[in-house]
Amino acid sequence: MSGVKRDRRLTPFSGRIAHRTLQGVVSSLVFTEGEAARIIAPVTDLCAAPDGARDRQLLFGAAVLIIERRMAWTFVQAQADGYCGWVASDALGKPLEVTHRVSAAATHGYRTASIKAGEVRKLSLGATVTVFEDDGPFAVTEDAWIPRQHLRPLEAPEDDPVAVAERLLNVPYLWGGNSHDGIDCSGLVQAALMACGLACPADSDMQWAALGALLPEGAPLQRGDLLFWKGHVALACDATRLIHANGHTMSVAYEGIAEARARIDAASEGTWLGARRIARA
């Protein structure tokens, strides 16, 4: 690799094979255009190494670019946020243009147009699907029938990130989690913003660097402002209350902003960085 240190999380280089855009940037014997694919598991870990620690998770329908296949593990780059890592090879399928996003906290895909028919899979808020027929109480997707009220067209994003985050209240905290089964602070923020059609990196340090304008210390907070500590992020519900996935309650929970700042500072869990506001149309 060149003398410039690159963030491995955003570098499509498996250590053996690199994307062609990295020619002249990293030392690799093989460069590739990559192969388009999508996630076909309800949720799958995106790992730092084959069978290694989880960095993040990818949800059903997520588009990825395959860089290298190694038997049971495949190195990919996620299309939505550029995050790179290893996923289980059996979590990958052929690409398919998605049309809708799961807008409920969670839903099920059924074998036929009946809730009594048995489910094919559970899907989390943020999962994406291709709807072929949207007539009646169920939307027909590739291999499952999903309740229409649990889906939202991609062309109609939501307008309140806090309302999206609130659908995941009491979901258990999970480091690197991105789903209704478990989620962390940056995963919650990313899910909330992306449901509103806003680009959002995956980790809190990336979000701090990329999102919104820094507010002066003491400025009145508004709904949807992002509150940052080193290693932690939350969403302001209003001027006095926030919502976050946190290790204190081990869940997605409300907390007073002043109380959260005092608690985190006292426990030396993180250093307060500031608040950022995302411009909205």
* DSSP H or E segment with residue 182: strand 182-183
Asked if residues 75 and 49 have their Cβ atoms less than 8 Å apart, the reply is no
Per-residue pLDDT of the chain (281 residues; tens, 9 = 90+): 445 578 999 999 999 999 999 999 999 989 999 999 999 999 999 999 999 999 999 999 999 999 999 999 999 999 999 999 999 999 999 999 999 999 999 999 999 999 999 999 999 999 999 999 987 899 999 999 999 999 999 999 999 999 999 999 999 999 999 999 999 999 999 999 999 999 999 999 999 999 999 999 999 999 999 999 999 999 999 999 999 999 999 999 999 999 999 998 887 666 899 999 998 76
SS3 content of the chain, % helix, strand, coil (to 5): 15, 40, 45
Instruction: Map out the domains of the chain with their CATH numbers.
Output: 8-93 (2.30.30.40), 100-153 (2.30.30), 161-277 (3.90.1720.10)
Residue 1's pLDDT is: 43
Alpha carbons 15 and 21: distance in angstroms, whole number: 15
65 CB-near residues (< 8 Å, 6+ apart)? 12, 19, 34, 35, 36, 37, 76, 77, 79
pTM reported for the whole predicted model? 0.95
* C-alpha distances out from residue 29 to 11, 18, 36, 157, 245, Å: 16, 9, 21, 42, 42
